[in-house]
Amino acid sequence: MKYNDKILDQINKNQSFFEDNIKDFDLNKIKKIILDIVDKLSLNPLITQEEIFNSLSLKKIDNLKKINKFIRENDFIQDIITKKSVSKKYWNTILPFANISEEVITNKYRYPIRIALFPGVSCMFYCGFCGRNQDAKYKNSVVTDGVNQIKKLLKTTDKNSKISISGGLEPLTNPKIGEIIKAANDSGFKVPLITNGYSLTEAFIKKNPEIWNLDSLRISLYGYDSNSYKDITQVGKSYDIVKKNLINFLKLREQFNNKLKVGLNYIILPENMNNLINVLEFIKEVNASAQSQGVNFLTLRDDYQSVTGNDPSLDSIRKYRLQQEMTINQRKKLLEILQDFKSKVKTYTPYLHVDYGYSLEYLSNNIFDKGLVKVSGGELRKFGFTQMSVAIDLHGDVFLFREAGFLDRPGNKKAIIGRISEKNSLEKIIKKFLEKDQPINFDEDDTRLLDSFDHVLNALVNQSESNYKFGISLSECPISFKQYSREKSVGNNWYSDDI
Ligand code: SF4
């Protein structure tokens, strides 16, 4: 490993730690073990302490705890694992959440770190990988009350929480979206919003000038030309309209708020992965037309339908469903495509920040892995992880998992823990749910109710529980979780790698 010599220096410098703490210590053996542990954590943040212990020639758990203590208290080694390793994306995202994982295991109440707001009334697209119920839309009559509840929630939301606006359905279909953005700003939140961009017209922007107060706006890009767009959205002209809206928004941004970051999200599917370079061409063209700072960031996500959309229960109520999941061979091919892509980013769009997400980070670094972290139905947390994340829709329903937050998605009711109202605050709902102590029995196919972020959080809590049962608590792990309190550490944007 690149930093092995420097890690060995740290061990040599601190030899007395082992003399004092480990009986009959053998320095060479300890060096090997520490390098091995750092290597494992650098490649797999979700590895359990039991797995680490079983892979090492350690006789007692107590010795692992002592070695963990050395790693945990050494800032240099911490930095190598969490900030310089190939898994830094994982570490950056999960550290503040890992820090409270024992509170999740013990069902201790804590205000959620992340709240995803789903204020959309409907959606005009019919994406084949989407888990929405394509027959469902909210009644217009619920909009005013729903928005008022969200505004009230924002007034009382813990200031250390992170708020985002997305879907659920398409958020810009809510005629009062500007009021929600304003309420969030008034309460001091920096808000990112995800949209499909179809409604982001000049007229919409005029009616909703609060949109300029967002921290970032991310448009989900469903293709790179008319045909590819229509294939996914099933809506003709969707490409032309979204592209026109994007160029116009980029132009106007210079006038209204040139600090607002604008980005795109592109989902890589087996059907489109060979055309990834076309996305860069698209951005280049858009930037040239907008004649401004252009698109700031691109998030790439892969094989989405394997997480959520490949849900046969929706087949009778949706236009079509993408069939394929990405095979191992296709993923190997994707690794090659990403190397080419990375080099082209430098020449085509040098100022573009590319966020490869959890699963593509490895591939983008030329390391093959099997992809997204996915928990099975039997591994689902029976109380979710409300201390970490919840989603709230226009009805005020509080969802344990984010992909459950589609109106009338078959089977999603079991993931609703209450509805916010005049009398029922988010805090009350969560407290009551945890105090009631009635676990939810999830089925195998309920994993479709989680998005990839939920899968990571779920896996993280399971890891912590496994470590705890094995006899190693959070404070005895090799990572110094406690320094990552949510106040300073939770990121809420895609335009930088900062935590
Ligand atoms: S993925 Fe988004 S834009 Fe596409 S159908 Fe679902 S909610 Fe609509």
Taking only the tens place, the pLDDT of each residue in 451-460 is 989 999 999 9
pLDDT at 357: 83
pLDDT at 485: 66
Q: Which atom of ligand 1 is nearest to the CA of 167?
A: 7
Distance, in Å, from the CA atom of 327 to the CA atom of 431, rounded to the nearest integer, reads 42
pLDDT at 21: 86
Mean of pLDDT over the chain: 91
445: CA distance to ligand 1 center in Å? Answer: 21
Q: Are 200 and 250 in contact (CB under 8 A)?
A: no
Mutational test site, ligand 1, from 129, 133, 169, max ligand atoms within 8 Å of CB: 169
pLDDT at 173 over 60: yes
Question: Using a 6 Å cutoff on CB, does residue 397 contact ligand 1?
Answer: no
Distance, in Å, from the CA atom of 262 to the CA atom of 276, rounded to the nearest integer, reads 19
pLDDT at 268 over 80: yes
- Can you tell me the mean pLDDT for 199-220? 98
Pick the residue with more confidence: 388 or 271? 388
Nearest-Å Rg of the Cα atoms of the chain is 23
Question: Using a 6 Å cutoff on CB, does residue 221 contact ligand 1?
Answer: no
116: CA distance to ligand 1 center in Å? Answer: 16
Give the model confidence (pLDDT) of 399-445 as tens digits: 999 999 999 999 999 999 999 999 999 999 999 999 999 999 999 99
**Nearest one of 242, 266, 292 to 345, comparing CA atoms:** 266
The rounded percent of the chain whose pLDDT value lies above 70 is 94
Q: Which atom of ligand 1 is nearest to the CA of 406?
A: 7
* Orientation angle between helical segments 143-156 and 426-436, nearest 10 degrees: 80
Question: Using a 6 Å cutoff on CB, does residue 381 contact ligand 1?
Answer: no
Pick the residue with more confidence: 458 or 129? 458
Mutational test site, ligand 1, from 121, 134, 166, 170, max ligand atoms within 8 Å of CB: 170
DSSP class per residue in 413-430: GGGEEEE--SS--HHHHH
Question: Using a 6 Å cutoff on CB, does residue 127 contact ligand 1?
Answer: yes
Q: Are 123 and 171 in contact (CB under 8 A)?
A: no
Report residue 446's pLDDT band, with 50, 70 and 90 as the boundaries.
very high
> What's this model's pTM, rounded to 2 decimal places?
0.93
Report residue 128's pLDDT band, with 50, 70 and 90 as the boundaries.
confident
DSSP class per residue in 7-22: HHHHHHHTHHHHHHHS
* Orientation angle between helical segments 88-98 and 452-470, nearest 10 degrees: 70
Torsion sign over Cα 484, 486, 487, 493: positive
Mutational test site, ligand 1, from 122, 124, 127, 221, max ligand atoms within 8 Å of CB: 127
Question: Using a 6 Å cutoff on CB, does residue 125 contact ligand 1?
Answer: yes
CA-nearest residue, atom 6 of ligand 1:
130
Report residue 193's pLDDT band, with 50, 70 and 90 as the boundaries.
very high
Q: Which atom of ligand 1 is nearest to the CA of 123?
A: 8
Report residue 108's pLDDT band, with 50, 70 and 90 as the boundaries.
very high
Q: Which atom of ligand 1 is nearest to the CA of 169?
A: 7
- Can you tell me the mean pLDDT for 95-108? 94
